[in-house]
Amino acid sequence: MICLGLIPNHFVLLSLKDGCPLPPSSTEWKIHKSEEAATWEDEFLDQHDRFRTLMDMELKRDWFHQRNQQIKTIQLCLMFDDTPVKPNTKFEDVMEYLDDLLFLDEM
């Protein structure tokens, strides 16, 4: 197998380890491949799957990173919000209505 990498304005030969993850073949290769080469890609399906798995992990990592950044921004906004803090509100004691509540449950 020969693998080429494109760096702006030129190609470089890549030396890859056996079994390493591989991106899918380029669209250009798929369009212009010879009949003889039509089955070559089948030999690398496992490596394409590994590549897709790695890319999915990377996308999830990026999504979680962006999400964490959004949460940190929200927290900072809340920390520096100058809205006055409301005093603690007293709640009505519901124990005196417990019998009524239990009666409603039985209905």
User: Per residue in 46-85, pLDDT tens?
Assistant: 999 988 998 888 888 888 888 878 777 776 666 655 556 6
13 near 3, Cβ under 8 Å? Answer: yes
In a domain, 100, yes or no: no
In a domain, 75, yes or no: yes
In a domain, 7, yes or no: yes
Range of the domain at 74: 3-79
Report the C-alpha gap between 86 and 79 in whole angstroms: 15
Q: What is the DSSP string of 47-92?
A: HHHHHHHHHHHHHHHHHHHHHHHHHHHHHHHHHT--PPPPPPPPPP
In a domain, 92, yes or no: no
In a domain, 10, yes or no: yes
In a domain, 28, yes or no: yes
Angle at alpha carbon of residue 62, lines to 57 and 64, rounded to 5°: 95
* 9 Ramachandran zone, left/alpha/beta (phi>0; psi -120 to 50): left
In a domain, 34, yes or no: yes
pTM to 2 decimals? 0.51
Structural domain count of the chain? 1
